[in-house]
Amino acid sequence: MAIHATSSSMKSRRKNLNECGMAIFSLEAKARGSYAKTIKFNTYELAEILLVDGCFIIELLLRFSGMHFEDDSDLIFRNAWMIPTLRHDLGLLENQIPFFVLDHLLEICVPLKP
């Protein structure tokens, strides 16, 4: 039973990741146009950066808001210095991700229930 639940959960996560990846590819040109400077990354590289960083930011915000369970092994919340460091890094101009990218990823990862 537990193996089935784990397998089902992994399939669901894989499906969400695939959906997020496809969404990012569809937003890549718009995201690229949001930056003042020319982006040196190709389509796949930029999409990967937006996907990984965007998912990390969403996961961080969900954990910080208490919507996701955190445990003692959580490397981010276990270290007192991590949140101020992340807050600083997220504020750096070169680390900015267009809000519409985060909004779209959030809609996929945490759909609103009617």
**Digit-coded pLDDT (tens) for 27-77:** 999 999 998 889 999 999 999 999 999 988 888 888 777 655 556 667 766
Distance, CA of 38 to CA of 9 (rounded, Å) = 39
Exposure string for 51-80, b = 16+ CB within 10 A, e = fewer: bebbbebbebeeeeeeeeeeeeeeeeeeee
On whether the CB atoms of residues 28 and 50 are closer than 8 A, the answer is yes
**Enclosing H/E stretch for 49:** helix 43-65
- Please tell me the pTM assigned to this model: 0.73
Say yes or no to pLDDT of 93 above 50.
yes
